[in-house]
Chains A and B, each alone.
Chain A
Amino acid sequence: MADSAVIRAVVALLALTAPAMQAATPAPSANAPFDLSGVWMNDDTLDERMKREGRTRQTAAELRGPPAAAETPPLTPRYLEIYQRMQEEAKKLADGAAGCEWPGMPTIMTYPYPFEILTTPGRITFLFEVESQVRRVFLDRDRHLDPDDLDPSYNGDSIGRWEGKTLVIDTVGFNTRRPVRGLPHSEQMRIVERITPVDADTLKNEMTITDPEAFTRPMVINVQYSRRPDWRIREYSCAENNRDAPDASGQRSGAIVPAP
């Protein structure tokens, strides 16, 4: 039977790799003080809030969006200049024009899409719906990658440890392609997340973001997630049908196109 041939092959492969795996296997995840595995959703999204309140229409305040901040952004002089240049560049784009770049950290942790957490020995893995992205948190190392290996990336290099029931994740190694709450940052940005259970089905994540080159003070973002055992994570590729992508002149390309 084909199935048994596959099983034999897998068993043979496991036997070959077992010594190496054992050598690297850290404390089993059964020792985790809280089981994070499952599908979670950001409670603070517009859509979730409206469903909780049984509404189908946004309020005037929601449609208006948050007021413009009156104060100067908490940026160093050099990054204030970069911020002003970003604003000038953004004016060249038509309203609503948007490409398909990944959200990046920390935005992906506050995005209005669910994620699934897998817990395996030495590792916590986030499987995000948006862009079908993966984020790996290493519990089996207590140091970040060496600078030569730390490629600047959207989601950075994450190491984690448990402090009681709180999972503390420290992330460095970011590229500078994505703003944080609209603000530019440097490759020196660091994000410390403290993920704590509120109850069996609720998590809060307090994210503290520092950047010695760009920010004049830490930025703190709080987000809460709920378990969604009956949700499934769907496939998502923004490149599938992005009719809002800006063309060379910054206009939404937006033409009527057949479904892919």
Chain B
Amino acid sequence: MFRRRPWVILTFTALLMGMPTFAPAHHSFAMFDRERTVTITGVIREFQWTNPHSWIQVTVTDDKGKVTEWSLEGGSPGILSRNGWKRTSLKPGEKVTIELYPLKSGEPGGSFVEITRADGSKLFYHG
């Protein structure tokens, strides 16, 4: 499922020359296509609550039974915790639906922005 988003280009020059009022943490997210989001449904294999970034490893099984593991990158424990997350927020084996900005490379990865758990509760990261 794809949702169109306004086309944006985050050029290196813009980051280098810009005088933003905020400093980006650690690195840019230029490897992600933030023109659009992709939504996947799968099972949590591992939630890496780590610095500089957290990672969610999710296994997705398609109609033909083929399993693909996605690597989804997000905020640090510091930033996520101040948005309501805890290290125990996602448990291995838990079924989730995740909306993400996909990798431009087409590999199964991206930047997670919205997670919906089986009970309908949600977790967010600005991506």
Contact = CB atoms under 8 A, between A and B. Distances in A.
Contacts of B28: 65, 95-96, 98
Contact of B16 (A47, A90, A243): A90
Given A47-B126, A244-B26, A236 B51 contact: yes
Dominant secondary structure at the B interface: loop
Contacts of B73: 243-244
A111 interface: yes
Interface string B113-127: 110000000001011
B9 A236 contact: no
B78 A129 contact: yes
Interface stretch (A53-61, A135-143, A191-199): A53-61
A13 interface: no
A64 interface: yes
A111 B114 CA distance: 24
Contacts, number: 154
B113 A111 contact: no
Dominant secondary structure at the A interface: loop
A12 B114 CA distance: 57
Contacts of A100: 52
A234 B111 CA distance: 23
B23 A237 contact: no
A66 B19 contact: yes
A182 B20 CA distance: 11
B126 A56 contact: yes
Interface string B13-24: 111111111111
Contact of B31 (A42, A60, A96): A96
Contacts of A98: 26-28
Contact of B15 (A47, A63, A182, A258): A182
Contacts of A129: 78
B29 to A, nearest CB: 6
A141 to B, nearest CB: 30
B126 A46 contact: yes
B16 A66 contact: no
A67 interface: yes
Given A91-B12, A94-B31, A252-B31, A67 B18 contact: yes
B83 A47 contact: yes
Contact of B23 (A95, A112, A231, A259): A112
A68 B26 contact: no
A238 B52 contact: yes
Interface in A112-126: 112-114
Interface of A: 42, 44-47, 49-51, 56-58, 60, 63-69, 73, 87, 90-91, 94-98, 100, 103, 107, 110-114, 129-130, 181-182, 231, 234, 236-238, 240-244, 252, 254, 256, 258-260
